Amino acid sequence: MKLKSIVAAGMMMPAVALAWPWSTDMMNQPSIKPQEGQMATYPAGVIPVTGIPTTVSSREETREMKNPIEPTVVSIDTGRKLFKIYCGACHGNTGGADSPVSGKIGAIDLTDSYVQENLTEGWLWGTITFGSYVMPSYGVPSARPDSRGSNDLNVEERWHVVNYMKHGMVSDHAAKTQAAVQ
């Protein structure tokens, strides 16, 4: 009789354990699922991030633009950080098109002499803003009727990236290549 009682108690233990508060299913907790209900209003004092609209309407218009931000150490370092975040996955962290996906998507080597010597800072800024064949746009071109652009980088941040591309990338890539050889 004692054995039957112990077996019966043992069989009830999982039911008791599952009834505790920690056994709730996270999927069925009270929460707002995507696209459900009315969107909540922004709290007071919050400024929505919409970026600074770009006033040019095509990459071709940017060819002769001059970089308004001096290529200081701070600007180049800011551009380096942003480049690694937004551009490094495709172009490699130092622009040498040496990432695992570079060859698969056709990312170009930004340390190449053609890019460094022939492409203007305005053209590079325009390419970041409007994108190209495979590359997405990282700007907010307001002059386009479809408002294409991801708004990931504001106008100033794009110029910082250009400063890094023109004034810091080649030396970073050379140092990385030299370190790999040793």
The CATH number of the domain where 107 resides is what?
1.10.760.10
Q: How many CB atoms lie within 10 A of CB 125?
A: 25
Does the pLDDT value for residue 9 go beyond 60? yes
pLDDT in tens, 118-154: 999 999 999 998 888 888 888 765 555 555 555 578 8
Residue 7 lies in a domain: no
Indicate whether 99 belongs to any domain: yes
CA distance 16 to 30: 24
Domain that holds residue 140: 60-181
Q: How much is the average pLDDT of 150-167? A: 87
130 assigned to some structural domain: yes
Inside any domain, residue 176 = yes
Can you give the pLDDT at residue 151?
59
pLDDT at 96 over 60: yes
pTM to 2 decimal places:
0.67
- Residue 115 located in a structural domain: yes
Q: Could you tell me if 96 and 111 are in contact, meaning their C-beta atoms sit under 8 angstroms apart? A: yes
**What pLDDT is stored for residue 102 in this prediction?**
86
Of the ranges 5-14, 47-56, 108-117, the best mean pLDDT one: 108-117
Residue showing tokens 């071109």: 141
pLDDT at site 66: 92
**Which pLDDT score is estimated for 182?**
73
pLDDT tens digits, 20-57: 666 566 666 666 666 666 666 666 766 555 555 567 88
pLDDT at 132 (0 to 100): 84
What is the per-residue pLDDT for 122? 94
For residue 39, is it within any domain? no
What confidence score (pLDDT) does residue 119 get?
Answer: 94
CA-CA-CA-CA dihedral for 129, 133, 135, 138, to nearest 10: 20
138 domain-assigned: yes
Total domains in the chain come to 1
* DSSP helix, strand, coil percent of the chain (3-state; round to 5): 50, 0, 50
